[in-house]
């Protein structure tokens, strides 16, 4: 009888340990969101900066050659769907990058950043992105 009780206690202790290891704690879930919170804020700031540069006609003075690299750096710090959609923005930027200010290119870019905004919202990292409102055509 004593051996059975000891066995039951050991099995119960082992089950408690295994259950504790298998779940995701609240702090783990919060940690998973942190990269997206920072990435979404940085992404929103870059969209605002780009629209300001276009509005001030700085795209001619300060070429947009590094635009893809700027978006890439931010995307690499994100996770999951947010990262995937940020990477799609890079694909939406034409070569050469300053062509993003022209009609259809601008629409494709704006659609891509809107998709990032929706992904950020779904990841509890809601931000306001700034579409390109200035450009040609």
Average pLDDT over residues 111-117: 98
pLDDT at 1: 53
Question: Is the model more confident about 113 or about 29?
Answer: 113
Rounded to the nearest integer, the mean pLDDT of the chain is: 81
Total-model pTM: 0.74
pLDDT of 32 > 70? The answer is: no
Higher pLDDT, 25 or 125: 125
Whole-angstrom Cα distance, residue 110 to residue 116? 10
The pLDDT confidence band at residue 10, using thresholds 50, 70 and 90, is very low
Output 8 or 40, whichever has higher pLDDT. Answer: 40
**What integer pLDDT is reported at residue 55 of this predicted model?**
85
Contacts of 25 (CB under 8 A, 6+ apart): none
SS3 sequence of 40-100: HHHHHHHHHHHHHHHHCCHHHHCCCCCHHHHHHHHHHCCCHHHHHHHHHHHHHCCCCHHHH
**Binning pLDDT at 50, 70 and 90, where does residue 3 land?**
low
Number of residues that this document lists for the chain: 137
pLDDT over threshold 70, residue 30:
no
Contacts 24+ apart (CB under 8 A), 115-122: 115/85, 115/88, 116/40, 116/43, 116/82, 116/85, 116/86, 116/88, 116/89, 117/44, 118/85, 119/81, 119/82, 119/84, 119/85, 120/36, 120/40, 120/43, 120/82, 122/81
Instruction: Report pLDDT for 33.
Output: 60
């Amino acid at each position: 009888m004593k051996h059975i009780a000891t066995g039951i206690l050991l099995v119960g202790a082992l089950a408690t340990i295994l259950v504790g290891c298998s779940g995701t704690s609240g702090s783990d879930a919060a940690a998973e969101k942190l990269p997206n919170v920072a990435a979404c804020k940085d992404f929103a700031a870059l969209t605002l900066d780009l629209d300001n540069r276009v509005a001030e006609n700085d795209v001619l003075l300060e070429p947009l050659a590094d635009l893809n690299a700027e978006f890439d750096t931010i995307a690499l710090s994100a996770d999951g769907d947010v990262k995937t959609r940020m990477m799609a923005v890079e694909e939406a930027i034409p070569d050469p990058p300053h062509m993003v200010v022209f009609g259809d290119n601008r629409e494709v870019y704006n659609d891509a950043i809107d998709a990032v905004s929706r992904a950020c919202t779904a990841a509890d990292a809601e931000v306001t992105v700034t579409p390109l409102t200035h450009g040609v055509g």
